[in-house]
Structure 1
Amino acid sequence: MDHAANIENHQKIKNKFFGSDEVYIECFYKDEDKEFAEKKYHSYTSMSRQIMKESKVKNAIPVHFSRKYENSEIEELIEQF
């Protein structure tokens, strides 16, 4: 799911996916690129991780990464998640 990391969207995510077995969630940017993520209406690693924990999703899978990152950076982003 592609989403802007904000309170309104996170409430919708909780309502829709609470207790789900598996959710694919956007982790478009690393945490250090948070400001850019917010400007571009995307999410970043820690916020995607947080909303999945709050939604009690059993298996959250990070997807949809910015093309600006090299493969090694995407691996780092997945580890952060």
Structure 2
Amino acid sequence: MSAVEIKGEILSYLEQVEDERFLKVVHSMLNTYINEHEDPVIGYDADGAPLYASVAKQRFKAQLEGIKHGEYLTIEALEKEMESW
């Protein structure tokens, strides 16, 4: 079972629970985990693989350095490239 499927199943279970005490326990556990997790997941790719904050930060930093060195595509260049698609 993939992470996406597990999350969906957990959400389905939670929607069925009426016991507020139990929900508070689950909430507390999740809150503690998220707050203590050193490298949070900030998104997912199209295949459902998580994107961690540290990886995103490295990618964005590299892209910013590229921009500083003139490595970018202008609108005009993009429009010209699109003509060949």
TM-score normalised per structure 2: 0.25
Higher RCO (CA-CA < 8 Å; seq separation 6+): 1
For the pair shown, the structure with the greater C-alpha radius of gyration is 2
TM-score normalised per structure 1: 0.25
Higher percent of residues as helix: 2
